Amino acid sequence: MKRKLQFIAEWGSLLLSTAAVCCFLVVILWDIIGKGLPVLSWEFLSSLPTDGMTKGGILPAIVGTVSVTLITAISATPFGVCCAIYLNEYAQDNWLTRSIRASIRNLAGVPSIIYGLFGLAIFVQALQLGTSLLAAGLTLGLLSLPYIITTTEEALRRVPASTREAALAVGATQLESIRDMVLPSAISGILTGVVLALSRAAGETAPILFTGVAFYINNPSGALNQEFMALPYHLYMLSTQHQAIAEVRPLAYGTALTLIIVVFLLNFTAFYIRYKHRSK
Amino acid sequence: MRQARREWWNSLGKQVFRLTGVMVIVVLMAILGMLLWNTAAFFLEISPVDFITGTQWDPSSSDAQYGILPLLVSTCLVTLGAMIIAIPIGIGTAAFLSEYAGSRLRNILKPIIEMLAAIPSVTIGFLGIVFLGPEIAQMTGQSNGLNALNGAILLAIMALPTIVTIAEDAIQGVPQSYKEASYGVGANRWETLTKITIPAAAPGILAAVMLGVGRAIGETMTVLMATGNVSAFPKGFFHSVKTITATIAIEMGEVPYQTTHYYALFAIATVLFAMTLVVNLIGEHFVNKFRKYQAA
Amino acid sequence: MIQEKIKLAAHDVNLWFGQKQILKHIDVTFPERKITALIGPSGCGKSTLLRAFNRMHDLVPDARIEGRFLLDNTDLYGGPLSATQVRQRIGMVFQKANPFPKSIYDNVVYGLKINGVPKEQQHEIVVRSLQESYLWEEVKDELNKPAVRLSGGQQQRLCIARTIALRPEVILMDEPCSALDPISTAKIEELILKLKEEYTIVIVTHSMQQAQRIADKTVFMYLGEVVEQGPTASIFNNPQQELTANYVHGRFG
């Protein structure tokens, strides 16, 4: 009897921790979906905020988040993929390679707020981009870089050496072998990694705080040199900075739900790419 | 001619790829340089000793005070609280996943953990305000529940996916022969788990904890939204605190560029950078130790 | 004895991977339009030697090569030819068939495209190469099918078609039949014998029978050195070295 009780207590504790983890997710989604869904409508998604942002929709924030994520993708993907190609296809085991790898590991651990400061000091001030969509997108690009490099390198590593040898044997240069054989073979792995990196970038707030995000923009133009609104910052602002916090709570829930949907959609896209490639 | 052009592109390609590799080092050095440069500018005006030992952070009063201690203690307090919650739950979940759950259950639980990891920090901070805050307020009888405890719970949730994933790898990596040896001398599953498997996976679990700590120290939005942001010296979990990250996030938006206050924010960012660097290096050390052990 | 023209040769070649010396003082010649077999126990360096001829070790960071490799008296290393040009003239077929992850047609046409063969000639060369590698009848209706869906033997013949499409002077084959069943092997051997009319062929093989069936010349290697080389019949029937005799009579290896 005592042994049995002990057994239940022991394994129960593990089960309880696992249940707690699941519970966190359920509570988060339950609360946000439950209170956000009634707010969500086509009108909410497609109209400008009105009445001092106590009514209306979140269109500028959606446009801003999409545009800033696009800039992140355009700036970080070529850079990250090229670096991963260098590491996996060319790099020898020397001090340069080791320094690059150490730098990537360190960059991955740098807090996002420090990327924000860097974006402020370098992009906004030193390069005089001002607080703008471009400066914020580049900042998020740097934040995504270590992740894109790591996942791309993993994808390249899965391409068998025989594919490279086959291309070289018919007289391809190494560049041609990478361009024509290695990259096409690794493309789904690379895309999965890039999309996952973007899903994280789209939800980030700290790096864009000082580099270009704005309280309110009434014409979402997507212009590179303009400030922009973004879903995560809009949520932050509605829940802490607004003068009528209680009144805008439903809008905040709607924004939170939209943000989660955007992030999860990107995640599912990534998993779909991976799944589709596996089943091929 | 054509051949020469191909060879030229080939060597150009190699140089470009190498350049992007070098650029990664340059980016890290630039971040470091930017922090140190602005910190140096700060120390030209404020003595480092006052900065490190000062117990007051009050940059906007006429008698501006730039003591980092309250911020540092806040950051440590919230992180400590987060780890007290996340470490047992994380290791418990990792052990459950690798030792107890069948493959079907794992296929359900793994995506749940990945989804938890995908939720943006600002959303978790938002729930700290609208959900957890009122709960804590009710329990403690405070006006709002925005305090260190709230931040710690949220950070625990954010650090959990990291801890669970890496700790699970570590536990799975323990050779089957160890466990069989333990069963062989009559130990049951629980004894094997606690006396053999977890100690054997210790380096990997420590790495998991360190990466979780790194994530918690550097997290901005959740603590900014949930901990109340009072820059008085922190008194405990039930009081409002203001971490380094939150201080930067709040004050950088308001200070004029190139003032003492502006430089001060870079100085505390340098401290933050150093903290995460040390934590990540320790974590990496344990990861390497764990890998070596696995290879052996 | 008729004087044979030497197409490919290695003189006093040493090769290291890191600290480990794989090839020691290799001196070997390959006659033009003949099949030469490289035989020897696993790990004797025969594949390493073969791969050195089309500079496959260039990408191995810690490989170090000394000595001269000659194609018609032109140096393969450090001479006028780039690695790419060397590989255009010396083709290679690998142990495990490694078709590109593309269609059958694209597999053959790829080498033509990158090497600047005019577009209007490409199709004809693809068809001819597939015919010459005895694959045309089997694949002519499904040229757009992914090459990986072919059987192992078909994949290997496709790899040969891909190689001969470029009209190289030498074809190196690294145990091309080791992963194939006897019927596919017979087909490939028949193909190799026909290719001899136009190409110089060097084949690494584990099978004594295969060497005797197809090779004009045989080179026996052991522990990174060439022990003996000569006409296949004399290597197998009248070896000069005891080591060779022991190996070809199956007493070790």
Mean of the per-residue pLDDT values for chain C?
Answer: 92
Query: Residue A50's pLDDT is what?
Result: 79
Please, which residues 241-260 of chain B have a Cβ atom closer than 8 Å to chain A? Answer: 245, 248-249, 252-253, 257
Residue count (chain C): 253
- How far apart, in whole angstroms, are the C-alpha atoms of residue C146 and residue B7? 30
Inter-CA distances, C101 with A137, A159, B216, C97, C131, Å: 36, 11, 44, 12, 21
Q: Is A14 on the interface with B (CB under 8 A)?
A: yes
Two tokens, residue C45:
């360096």
CB–CB of A201/A75 below 8 Å? Answer: no
- How far apart, in whole angstroms, are the C-alpha atoms of residue A219 and residue C209? 80
Query: Residue A176's pLDDT is what?
Result: 95
> Would the pLDDT of C10 be above 90?
yes
CB spacing of C114 vs B6 below 8 angstroms: yes
Instruction: Using alpha carbons, select from C35, A24, A10 the residue that is nearest to residue B188.
Output: A10
CB–CB of B35/A101 below 8 Å? Answer: no
β-pairing, B57-58 vs A55-56, is unpaired
A121 by Cβ neighbours in 10 Å (0-12 / 13-18 / 19+) ranks as: buried
C24 by Cβ neighbours in 10 Å (0-12 / 13-18 / 19+) ranks as: middle
- The DSSP output letter for C2 is P
Please name the member of A91, A96, A239 whose beta carbon is closest to the beta carbon of B129.
A239
Two tokens, residue B75:
């950051």
Which helix (H) or strand (E) element contains residue A141?
Answer: helix A133-157
pLDDT digits (tens, 9 = 90+) for C92-117: 999 999 999 999 999 999 999 999 89
* CB atoms closer than 10 angstroms to residue C243: 18
Q: What Rg do the C-alpha atoms of chain C give, in angstroms?
A: 18
Inter-CA distances, B197 with B86, B165, B173, Å: 20, 16, 9
Contacts of C130 (CB under 8 A, 6+ apart): C108, C136, C139, C140, C158, C161
Q: Is B199 on the interface with A (CB under 8 A)?
A: no
Tell me how far apart the 2 most distant CA atoms of chain A are, in Å: 75
Tell me, what's the ipTM?
A: 0.92
Query: Residue B221's pLDDT is what?
Result: 93
Higher pLDDT among residues A218 and A188, named by residue: A188
pLDDT digits (tens, 9 = 90+) for A101-160: 999 999 999 999 999 999 999 999 999 999 999 999 999 999 999 999 999 999 999 999
The backbone torsions φ and ψ at residue A239, rounded to the nearest 5 degrees and listed phi first, read: -95, -10
Least confident of B237-241, B287-291, C56-60, C110-114: B287-291
- How far apart, in whole angstroms, are the C-alpha atoms of residue A12 and residue A153? 41
Question: Considering chain C, what percentage of its residues have pLDDT values greater than 70?
Answer: 98
**Domain ranges for chain B:** 2-44, 53-295
Tokens 């710690």 label which residue? B152
Find chain C residues with C-beta within 8 A of B3's C-beta: 82, 84-85
Listed as own residue / partner, the contacts of C41-47 with beta carbons closer than 8 Å and 24 or more positions apart are: C41/C222, C41/C247, C41/C252, C41/C253, C42/C206, C42/C253, C44/C221, C44/C222, C44/C223, C44/C224, C45/C15, C45/C221, C45/C223, C45/C224, C46/C204, C46/C221, C47/C95, C47/C174, C47/C175, C47/C204
Selected from 3.30.420.40, 1.10.3720.10, 1.10.8.420, 3.40.50.300, the CATH number assigned to the domain covering A45-279 reads: 1.10.3720.10
User: CATH assignment of B53-295?
Assistant: 1.10.3720.10
Sheet holding C6-17, edge to edge: C20-31, C6-17, C63-71, C74-75
Which residues are paired to C90 by β-bridges?
C170
> Would the pLDDT of A76 be above 90?
yes
**Phi-psi group of B228: left, alpha or beta (phi > 0 → left; psi -120 to 50 → alpha; rest → beta):** left
Please name the member of A160, A170, A174 whose beta carbon is closest to the beta carbon of C166.
A170
Find chain B residues with C-beta within 8 A of C117's C-beta: none
> Would the pLDDT of A30 be above 90?
yes
Inter-CA distances, A49 with A58, A248, A262, Å: 6, 11, 19
Average pLDDT over residues A10-17: 87
The backbone torsions φ and ψ at residue B262, rounded to the nearest 5 degrees and listed phi first, read: -60, -50
Tokens 């829930």 label which residue? A253
CA distance C112 to chain B (A): 13
Instruction: Using alpha carbons, select from B237, B219, B197 the residue that is nearest to residue B91.
Output: B197
Least confident of B101-105, B133-137, B139-143: B139-143
> Would the pLDDT of B296 be above 70?
no
Any chains having at least 3 CB pairs less than 8 A from chain A are: B, C
Which residues are paired to C92 by β-bridges?
C172
Average pLDDT over residues B15-44: 95
> Would the pLDDT of C78 be above 80?
yes
Query: Residue B13's pLDDT is what?
Result: 95
Please, which residues 220-259 of chain A have a Cβ atom closer than 8 Å to chain B? Answer: 232-233, 235-236, 239-240, 249, 252-253, 256, 259
Which one of A28, A33, A144 makes the best mutation probe of the B interface by having the most chain B beta carbons within 10 Å?
Answer: A28
Query: Residue B294's pLDDT is what?
Result: 60
CATH 1.20.1560.10 matches C6-248: no
> Would the pLDDT of B185 be above 90?
no
Higher pLDDT among residues B294 and A151, named by residue: A151
Average pLDDT over residues B278-284: 91
CB–CB of C153/C187 below 8 Å? Answer: yes
Find chain A residues with C-beta within 8 A of B121's C-beta: 203-205
CB–CB of A109/B50 below 8 Å? Answer: no
Query: Residue A279's pLDDT is what?
Result: 65
> Would the pLDDT of B293 be above 70?
no
pLDDT digits (tens, 9 = 90+) for B143-171: 788 888 999 999 999 999 999 999 999 99
**Domain ranges for chain A:** 2-36, 45-279
Query: Residue C1's pLDDT is what?
Result: 47
Instruction: Using alpha carbons, select from B273, B250, B251, B274 the residue that is nearest to residue B263.
Output: B251
Instruction: Using alpha carbons, select from C104, C178, C179 the residue that is nearest to residue C142.
Output: C104
> Would the pLDDT of C252 be above 80?
no
DSSP string, B202-232: HHHHHHHHHHHHHHHHH--HHHHHHSB---S
CB spacing of C84 vs B10 below 8 angstroms: yes
**To 5 degrees, how large is the angle CA B206–CA B208–CA B211?**
110
